[in-house]
């Protein structure tokens, strides 16, 4: 049975200074953070992503750190993710082929919030990979063919490849979700729901929405079922 880890990604109030929206029907925007390191090649900008939200004019021409990469998203080719921070790279490195990596983002509530959404902002699952190989922790040791599968990843495009871990998702079982899955309670973005406190190994205390969330085999099975069925009410069951 697979295990899983969920990590925080995407635009936030620190980088680039705003959150992407989640709409009353559950649709959302995936907006990456800016690129902060020198790149060896030209990178896409916020303007190149053609997002629906009104991106502030002062960042529209800023190059982005497009990671995770979802094949169905503009400027992407495959399902890859890299991370250079040990706090996230460590748990992700413990996964294996067949396990899941989930990605969540903090999103601002747009319009009248539905009954399952926090009033102002919340944390939401936005996508997942089913790993098609063990995590890569030594990119320099890969042969050229294996390096090619990560060629479009943001960390590989940097002047110095700095990822402590690289993940590759199975194209048949990886995707950017159509609808967001809430991790926050109905009442406040900072309050976790059952997925965090009942399924993951996290306490839900403090800024849990910035931490990796670990799920054992039974919890992963339950989480995958919630995602596949879209039964949002199960996020809040005791």
pLDDT tens-digit series, residues 124-141: 999 999 999 999 999 999
Q: What is the DSSP letter of 45?
A: B
User: How many whole angstroms separate alpha carbon 183 and alpha carbon 189?
Assistant: 8
| Beta carbons of 168 and 131 less than 8 angstroms apart | yes
- DSSP, res 31: -
Q: What is the pLDDT of residue 87?
A: 96
Helices (H) and strands (E) in the chain, counts: 4, 10
Say whether pLDDT at 123 is over 70: yes
- pLDDT for 114 equals 84
In order, the DSSP letters of 117-175 are S-SSEEEEEEEEEEBSSPPBS-GGGS-HHHHHTTTTSTTTTBSS---SEEEEB-TTS-E
Does the pLDDT value for residue 4 go beyond 80? yes
CA dist 112 and 24 (Å) reads 6
Q: Report percent pLDDT > 90 for the chain.
A: 95
């Amino acid at each position: 049975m697979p295990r899983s880890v969920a990590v925080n990604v995407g635009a936030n109030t620190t980088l680039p200074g705003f959150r992407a929206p989640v709409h009353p029907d559950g649709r959302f925007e995936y907006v990456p953070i800016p690129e902060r390191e020198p790149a060896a090649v030209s990178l896409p900008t916020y303007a190149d992503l053609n997002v629906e939200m009104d991106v502030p004019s002062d960042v529209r021409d800023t190059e982005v750190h497009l990671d995770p990469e979802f094949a169905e998203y503009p400027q992407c080719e495959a399902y890859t993710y890299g991370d250079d921070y040990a706090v996230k790279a460590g748990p992700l490195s413990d996964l294996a082929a067949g396990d899941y990596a989930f990605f969540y983002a903090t999103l601002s509530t747009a319009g009248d919030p539905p009954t399952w959404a926090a009033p102002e902002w919340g944390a939401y699952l936005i996508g997942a990979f089913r790993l098609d190989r063990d995590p890569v922790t030594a990119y320099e040791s890969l042969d050229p063919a294996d390096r090619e599968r990560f060629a479009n990843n943001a960390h590989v495009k940097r002047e110095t490849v700095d990822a402590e871990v690289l993940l590759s998702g199975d194209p048949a079982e990886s995707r950017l979700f159509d609808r967001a899955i809430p991790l926050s309670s109905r009442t406040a973005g900072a309050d976790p729901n059952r997925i965090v406190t009942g399924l993951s190994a996290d306490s839900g205390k403090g800024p849990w929405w910035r931490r990796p969330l670990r799920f054992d085999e039974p919890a992963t099975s339950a989480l995958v079922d919630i995602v596949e069925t879209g039964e949002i009410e199960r996020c809040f069951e005791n």
